[in-house]
A and B are shown apart, each in its own frame.
Chain A
Amino acid sequence: MINPDAKLVQNIFDEKNLQKPTRDGFGTGTVEAGTENPDVFVLCADLSESTRAEWFQKEFPERFIEMGIAEQNMAATAAGFALAGKVPFMASYAAFSPGRNYEQIRTTIALNKQHVVVCGMHAGVSVGPDGATHQMLEDIGLMRMLPGMVVIAPSDAEEARKAVVAAAKVTTPIYIRFGRSPTPLFTTVETPFEIGKALLLWDSENFSEDTSLGNQPHISILTTGSMAYQALAATRALDAEGIKSLVLSVPTIKPLDTKAILSAAKRTGKVITIEEHNVLGGFGSAVAEFLSETYPVQITRLGTQDVFGQSGTPEELLEHYGLSAARIADAVRKIVQ
């Protein structure tokens, strides 16, 4: 059943529920952060409409900085804004930022310990028709390797808003990844969010870590980003077949909520990770690195399998790369049975 403490939307599987892209959360979140803090700036590399930076621009034109198509300059200039005491958010597509300007981010933001919020839009294959050049599948890996960098992939537009507001208040360099396509809005204003904390969405059994209390789920489904909803949809089908699971949404990939992940692994033994990212170096890798050193269990990583994306509809692509609810359910059946 759905975790009541997660305060998710009612009738979560109703197809008429609202859908929004997580990038909308960047738009609403920066306006909120900019209202709270006059030092918040948004820098954008000629993509203000599609990144939703224009929502901030409309409210605070004097704090919106148009950088032109120059992501390298944007990263190092953002570091300059931070050096001058401001809180800069920088927005472009993840393929270009951190894709193109990785070294500027490494030197002038990460090594330089500057509180810049790097915002990578259009991450994952669900970008759709634009194809492989614009479907960033390596950004989590790139960014989580940088010492001191916080990495977040929000699960829906509401959580994205909370992540953006929270990002304005930390002091570390931070990366947030957003998607282009609308995905179900399944969390609410009341849903808890804290950087570094995972959120239990579903537990087929009793929500208890005390194994003496009875049955434990067969598998832990660990997700990051908007894969959380796909996993929930898969879980519903699996539950009806008698395959019991728990779903842990892990928006913060770094620092990883090791406590929650360890607890889940101890309860279920088997673990499956799901991300719209290359399985090499991403969220699944982070989970595998942690569990293999502390509590080795069987781990399966769903994601793109060391390949680039391609053109198609988001639905076709998620299906093709094994990330739709149906394909996730197939993968879980294979592991559990």
Chain B
Amino acid sequence: MAVTDAEILKLEEKAEAIRETIIEMLVAAGSGHTAGPLGMADIFAAFYFHILKHDPKNPDWEDRDRLILSNGHIVPVRYAAMAHAGYFPVEECVTLRKFGSRLQGHPERVRLPGLETTSGPLGEGLSQGNGIAYVWKTQQMQEGNGAASPRRVYVLMGDGEQDEGNVWEAVMWAGKHKLHNLTAVIDRNNIQIDGMTEDVMPLESLRAKYEAFNWHVIEVDGHNIRQCIEAVEEAKAIYEKPTLILAHTIPGKGVPEIEFDYRWHGKPPTAEEGKAFLKDIRTMKGKLPHEYA
């Protein structure tokens, strides 16, 4: 079912709200990662407000899709998306990284319902998603293909994370078992802590590498929500292979001062910077009037 322009517009508004919350929570926390969360805001809006089969009021619902965030350091974007989706009050977001908060610096499954798993140390999310997808796939094969809308597993990874050997063990394993019910997304923003990915540890060609491991690969503009949704729909139609969505994103997207700058990978904005960044996001870089800008 094609997604309408009006629906896309609504999702873009959600992405903007998520970006605002990210800036607010990072300023309040005084530490954390900025560029990655902002760059993934459009994709998280697409997942939490269109793609995922989930119930924010019943996070343990057995039939929900599973969204595994492997690169746990960008979790502010997940917290913001979850809050806006109704998992918990948006006001709780500013407790990020604070003592006693459910919103740990890196996500901990046992502390906040809906996180699916604990992550941060890189390279481990795809393996866990594989385990779930394998169990579901074999169950479905045993029970027949009667289920109307089978659950799916989504694994989000960073591009720098692809340096980890564990990733490739998991890529090989998913290819072996043809996990068609699993879709991975790589946030291809070209930066990691020490610099540009191609300087730190050249990754290209990621497409050729995944294809060589028996994956179906789709490349999208990670800020084009329609493209992202259509890629997920395409992935659902692919049998006999897991799908990788290579999402090209701009680190720091929405705040021109930091876009493309790897130095913003691992630091938060100051209160003053936060104010300026919020203005950028709310006014579309000054093009629009905004009552709170």
Contact = CB atoms under 8 A, between A and B. Distances in A.
B88 interface: no
Interface in A69-91: 70, 72-73, 75-86, 88
Contacts of A88: 131
Nearest to B109: A112
A107 B132 contact: no
B31 interface: no
Among A62, A80, A81, A111, max chain B CB count under 10 A is at A80
A160 B125 CA distance: 32
Contacts of B118: 107-108, 111-112
B135 A77 contact: no
Interface stretch (B39-47, B168-176, B190-198): B168-176
A72 B165 contact: yes
10 smallest beta-carbon distances between A and B, as pairs: A80-B131, A76-B127, A73-B169, A84-B135, A80-B128, A70-B169, A112-B118, A76-B124, A81-B131, A77-B131
Task: Report the interface size class on chain A.
Answer: 20 to 34
Interface of B: 66, 108-110, 116-121, 123-125, 127-136, 138, 165-166, 169-170, 172-173
B71 to A, nearest CB: 13
A168 B110 CA distance: 21
B120 to A, nearest CB: 7
A86 B132 CA distance: 9
Given A83-B116, A84-B136, A108 B172 contact: no
Interface of A: 62, 65, 67-68, 70, 72-73, 75-86, 88, 103-104, 107-108, 111-113
A68 B173 contact: yes
A108 B134 contact: no
Contacts of A81: 131-132, 134-135
A80 B127 contact: yes
Among A67, A68, A77, A88, max chain B CB count under 10 A is at A77
25 contacts: A65-B134, A68-B169, A70-B169, A70-B172, A72-B124, A72-B165, A73-B127, A73-B170, A76-B125, A76-B128, A76-B131, A76-B166, A77-B127, A78-B131, A80-B131, A81-B131, A83-B116, A84-B136, A88-B131, A107-B119, A108-B118, A111-B118, A112-B118, A113-B109, A113-B110
A325 to B, nearest CB: 43
B17 to A, nearest CB: 30
B117 A68 contact: no
Given A107-B118, A108-B118, A113-B109, 9 more contacts: A72-B127, A73-B127, A76-B131, A77-B134, A80-B135, A83-B132, A85-B135, A107-B124, A108-B128
Contacts of A103: 121
B138 A108 contact: no
Contacts of A76: 124-125, 127-128, 131, 166, 170
B131 A83 contact: yes
A86 B130 CA distance: 13
B174 to A, nearest CB: 10
A112 to B, nearest CB: 4
Among A65, A81, A83, A103, max chain B CB count under 10 A is at A83
A107 B131 contact: no
Contacts of B119: 107
A80 B166 contact: no
Contacts of A67: 173
Contacts of B124: 72, 76, 104, 107-108
Given A83-B117, A112-B118, A104 B166 contact: yes
A70 B174 CA distance: 13
